[in-house]
Amino acid sequence: MDSKSQDFDLTRDQKSRLLRLGSSSRPQEWSPEGEQQKVDMLYDVISNSLPIDPSLVNSLPIVIRGLSSRLHSLAGQPIGDLLQDPTTNITTIERIKQYTKESGTSADSEDKREIFLTIYYAAIASALLFHNEKITQHSYEDLEQFFSSLSKKDWILNELVSLYTRAREYCLEKIQQEDSRSH
């Protein structure tokens, strides 16, 4: 047998996913099949970029318009990376929130709705943690409960669990501050 490493004809994304699954501290590969499908769908959504603004695509030369969905520099970073990056601007986080809200509303299955709702709350958590901004009408009490519930689901990726856990702590601090002001 040849001692060279083999690529097995995997795409870069597939190799990255295998590496992430192998290095994960939570044994996501042991999830029941329905849960594993959610893991896969969640991973697919957060590893993609936000859809490109149609006005940007229309401003491109005709030759490039057809390729615009494949150009990373136009599409931007993956949603998951944006949500975990403290330097992501608040406008981008709000775009992610709006995109996932709209996608969840029009989703054709309950699993897809749940996936988009998960990312919707990750956007809210990111805004709280990295910008100290609440981009929702939900109370801190409600957000704390949502983040707590989401962080306990087996099919949610570790990066998002960490985001929810920190956002939950943030909400608890805000609740305590509000309680101390009212007394």
Q: What is the pTM of this model?
A: 0.73
69 domain-assigned:
no
Tell me if 36 sits within 8 A of 28, measured CB to CB.
yes
Q: What local confidence, expressed as pLDDT, does residue 180 receive?
A: 86
118 domain-assigned:
yes
134 domain-assigned:
yes
Task: Give the range of the structural domain holding residue 136, as residue numbers without chain letter.
Answer: 36-48+77-182
152 domain-assigned:
yes
Q: What local confidence, expressed as pLDDT, does residue 123 receive?
A: 98
136 domain-assigned:
yes
Q: Rounded to an integer, what distance in angstroms lies between the CA atom of residue 145 and that of residue 83?
A: 20
Tell me if 77 sits within 8 A of 114, measured CB to CB.
no
99 domain-assigned:
yes
What are 36-89's pLDDT values in tens digits?
Answer: 899 999 999 999 988 765 554 455 566 665 665 555 444 478 999 999 999 999
For the chain, the domain total comes to: 1
Q: Rounded to an integer, what distance in angstroms lies between the CA atom of residue 79 and that of residue 44?
A: 10
Hey, how many other C-beta atoms are within 10 angstroms of the C-beta on 132? Answer: 10
- Model confidence band, residue 29 (pLDDT cutoffs 50, 70, 90): very low
58 domain-assigned:
no
What are 78-135's pLDDT values in tens digits?
Answer: 999 999 999 999 999 999 999 999 999 999 999 999 999 999 999 999 999 999 999 9
Task: Look at residues 154, 121, 151, 164 and name the one whose alpha carbon lies nearest to residue 35.
Answer: 154
61 domain-assigned:
no
Q: What local confidence, expressed as pLDDT, does residue 76 receive?
A: 77
For residue 105 the two structure tokens come to: 């509303």
